[in-house]
Structure 1
Amino acid sequence: MTRAELFSQIQQKSSFLCVGLDPDLEKIPSHLKAESDPIFSFCREIIEQTADFAVAYKPNIAFFEALGPKGWESLQKVQEIIPKDIFTIADAKRGDIGNTSKLYAKAFFETMDFDSITVAPYMGKDSVTPFLEFENKWVILLALTSNMGSLDFQVIEDKEGKPLFLSVLEKSQAWGSPENLMFVVGATRGELIGEVRKAVPEHFFLVPGVGAQGGSLSEVAKYGMNSTCGLLVNSSRGIIYASGEKDFAKAARKEAEKLQIEMKGLLDLYLG
């Protein structure tokens, strides 16, 4: 998917919502566990009920690969039923060098046909650029994450006082462009989102941490939105586990719609 196509979806749906698919067998409604593929059944109903409001879906690969070969089959089936005009993110956080990265890219971009993949930048340029060689595919590079452990490394300053996450942003812009490179920027780091936007004014951000993790959608939009929105705000648990009963998919729809309504107001406010 191209940048223009993604922005078109945002405009059409008045939404920049990404729904995270984290199908935990211990959390999904018990009635699904009698199905032949409960993980797929759970994700299918979530997608069917939220596709009106979502411009992206983000399967968390760990929840699938933990189940072995059957989990990979479920992931492929989930990927195939996501509407083709909706952006897909393989949340895999891969990061290795040379041929290994090329094969990771081939697996997720060719075999499974995801639009994008999350990538860890710690090993540098040669761990990232193999993913950028695929036309109309995206790298979503970890920059400033919302977990507590992010403080261990991401905010360490060099001798000029520049934090590591800003060095990652500045260096990586030479590897890709706003047409194929996004950044993960956590919503719970609201005070720093403006700094990130100054460093990369044109790039899209994937923003986790809104909802269950306590991030503020209005703060994210205030500091992070640009002229083409530039945001994909992810909600996982707050949507997909809104109910643990048979009405789980309808409950998910209600939560997705709430976010979409708030997003429409923010799009109207900042983009007109």
Structure 2
Amino acid sequence: MTKPSAKAAPKRRQRGSINADDIVAGAFEVARASTLDQLSMPILAEHLDIGVTSIHWYFHKKEELLNAMTDRAVDKVVRLTPEVRSEDTWQHTLAAHFRAQREIHREDEVLSDLLLIRTSTYSRDAARRMFEVIEAIVAKLVADGFTPDDALKVYNAIGVYTRGSIIHARILRLSHAPTTDTARQRRMIDDWTPMPVLDGLLDRHTLSGTDDEDFDFGIGRLICGFEELPREQGERRKSASANGSDPRNATAS
């Protein structure tokens, strides 16, 4: 009887056949298949079919690798973020910007981990590029009649709303929350009739408030409220001028 031959050991890549870009790309593949927290140098090395020392040649520790991944994530966000155009209204600019941000992060949760949660991994260059995006939006608002202070507050308010929506939706999705599905949420309790308002809404709306309609409603209402700011600012300036004070000091309270 012929003795079965021993299984050949897997052949690794030759030394020097991989570069930093390959390693970062592989790190994204591992993180997307599991989680960013589970990403480790040994697991990445196995995924790439190389020795751990080959990774350490480019990245001495995980934090350095995360920094490089963040740079790559910023590249993607900047590339997919709509251009700020002078001919667009500020309302359209804000709505398009934050809808795009939500879509980008919803399609790639590793970006959310890197850019929304693990913010300490931002390199100076990555931080500069992200702030340049914010500068363009805030400058657009200022050009369209907002004070710089109000413009930044408007951006921050919708930004916090958007980031919260992204993270909240992800938490509910990972926990398989029934409130994200109209059929499942109705089965959460036996009898909804003591709550007639909710009972009439359950088949049309999710209670989680995380679907596209909910997000667009929130963005629209926020923008509608912010439309009053330039008018209020103008009234404060007129009042200050009538009282003999410097109109430039009439800032929002």
User: Considering the TM-score relative to the shorter chain, is it more than 0.5?
Assistant: no
Q: Comparing both chains, which one has the higher relative contact order based on Cα–Cα distances under 8 Å and sequence gaps of 6 or more? A: 1
Larger radius of gyration: 2
More strand by share: 1
Determine which structure has the larger helix proportion and give its number. Answer: 2
Q: TM-score of the superposition, structure 2-length normalised?
A: 0.28
